[in-house]
Amino acid sequence: MNPIIQVKNFTKKYGDFVAVNNISFDVEEGSVFAFLGPNGAGKSTTINTLCTIFEKTSGTLLIDGKDVSRQKGEVRSAIGVVFQDSTLDAKMTIEENLKMHCVFYNIPNREVEERISFVLNLVDLTGERKKMVSALSGGMKRRVEIARGLIHYPKVLFLDEPTTGLDPQTRAHIWEYIMKLQKERNITIFLTTHYMEEAEICNKIAIMDGGEIVAHDTPYALKKKYTKDKAYINTKNEEALELLLSEHHLDYTKKDGYYKVEAEHLDRLLEVLSVHKEHITNIEIKKGTFNDVFLEITGKKIREEA
C-alpha cells in the first residue's frame, strides 16, 4: 500500500474546545475514500486542515509526502478541491471559468487549451464549453466544478458532498465520473457524503464522531462487523417455530403475527428453518445496510434531520 494521505496524531482545538482529538489514518493512492460522520464530528475541520486552509494544533498531516503546514504550495499543487457551495462565476462561460483557474494555478498559456479540452472530456462537457454557467443545470455545474478541480492535474481530489441536492439520475452520473477518474487517471478521491449507498461503493470508509475516528475499514468489513441479517417469518405452527428457535439458541421477537430473527450467519438460520419449512407461510430476508452500520457505531442517523 502506498499512502498518499497520512494523518498522524492530528489534533485541532478552537480555544479550549477540542474539535479533533488525536486522530490517525492513511488513504491509499488511487482509492476512493469516504469520510463520514454526524454533524459536528470534525470532518470539515480535518478536510480544511488537509487542504491547507486551517492550521493544525498538533500532529502530522502529509499529502503525497508533503507537510500541509510547512509545504503549503506543494500540497496545493497536489490537490483539487470541490466544496459544497459553488464558487463558479455564473456570468462567465464554462471555458472562461476554467481559463481563470489556469491563471490562478500559473499554468503556461501554451498548455491551457490542452488542459481545458482534457478536463471537459473527462466530465463529458466538451460540447458545452461556450455555455454560460448561469444556464447550466445543478448536475452540470457540479461537473464543471469537478473539471475545474482537476485543471492542474492533482493527485488527490477532495469532494465535499459532491452529489447533495442532485436528483438520483444525476447523482449516478457524477459517480460514473468519479469512478472514471479513479480507474483511468489513478486519482485518489477523498469525499464526504451523507448518502449511505454512496459510501458503500467506496474502497475505504472512516467514520468520525465527537472528534475521533470511531471506525475505519472497507464497507464489507464494517457491514460484517456491525450488522446482522434479519429474517421475518410467518408460520402456521408458532409453537413449533418457537421451540425450534429456542433449541438452537436463536433470539427472536414476535410482532404483528411474524417472528423477527437476527442472524450473524444467515446460512445457519436457513438450515435450522429447513426442518420447519412446511409450516412457513412467508419468509422475508433483509440484509444489514450501511445505515445500520452508521447507527450502530455513532448511535445517530447520518443526518439527524433525515
Ligand X SMILES: Nc1ncnc2c1ncn2[C@@H]1O[C@H](COP(=O)(O)OP(=O)(O)OP(=O)(O)O)[C@@H](O)[C@H]1O
Q: Quick one: cell of 71?
A: 509545504
Q: Segment 229-268, which members bind ligand X (CB under 6 A)?
A: none
Residue 39 binds to ligand X (criterion: CB under 6 A): yes
Of the pair 45, 182, the CB lying nearest ligand X is at 45
Q: Which of 31, 45, 182, 298 binds ligand X (CB under 6 A)?
A: 45
* Residue 98 and residue 134 in contact, taking contact as beta carbons nearer than 8 Å: no
Strands 17-28 and 3-14: antiparallel
Query: In the bound complex, what is the minimum distance in angstroms from residue 289's beta carbon to ligand X?
Result: 21
Report 1-30 residues binding ligand X (CB under 6 A): 14, 17, 19
**All cell numbers assigned to 37:** 460522520
Judged by CB under 6 A, how many residues of this single chain contact ligand X?
11
Minimum CB distance to ligand X smaller for 38 or for 154 = 38
93 scored as a contact of ligand X (CB under 6 A): no
Q: Of 14 and 104, which CB lies nearer to ligand X in the complex structure?
A: 14
Q: Say how far apart CA 259 and CA 243 lie, in whole Å.
A: 13
The kind and range of the H/E element at 147 are helix 138-149
Cβ neighbours around 60 below 10 Å, total: 14
Query: Which one, of 248, 197, 250, 249, lies nearest residue 223 by Cα?
Result: 197
Give 36 or 189: the residue with its C-beta nearer to ligand X. 36
Supply the minimum distance, in Å, between the C-beta of residue 37 and ligand X. 5
Q: List, in sequence order, every residue forming a beta bridge with 215; answer none if it has no partner.
A: 207
Of the candidate residues 31, 44, 97, 193, the single one contacting ligand X (CB under 6 A)? 44
Asked if 162 touches ligand X (CB under 6 A), the answer is: no
- Considering only 7, 27, 36, 41, the residue that binds ligand X (CB under 6 A) is 41
Residue closer to ligand X, measured from CB, 128 or 161: 161
Q: Which residues pair with 58 in a beta bridge?
A: 11
Q: Of 23, 27, 34, 42, which one interacts with ligand X (CB under 6 A)?
A: 42
**Interface with ligand X, residue 43, by CB under 6 A:** yes
Query: Is residue 288 near ligand X by the rule CB under 6 A?
Result: no
Q: Which three cell numbers stand for residue 122?
A: 473527462
Shorter beta-carbon distance to ligand X: residue 19 or 34? 19
Which amino acid makes up residue 19? Answer: A
Beta strands (DSSP E) in the chain are 3-14, 17-28, 32-36, 58-63, 66-67, 79-82, 156-160, 188-192, 204-209, 212-217, 229-235, 252-255, 258-263, 280-286
The pair phi, psi for residue 205, each rounded to 5°, is -130, 135
40 near ligand X (CB under 6 A): yes
Using rule CB under 6 A, residue 186 touches ligand X: no
Binding site for ligand X (CB under 6 A): 14, 17, 19, 37, 39-45
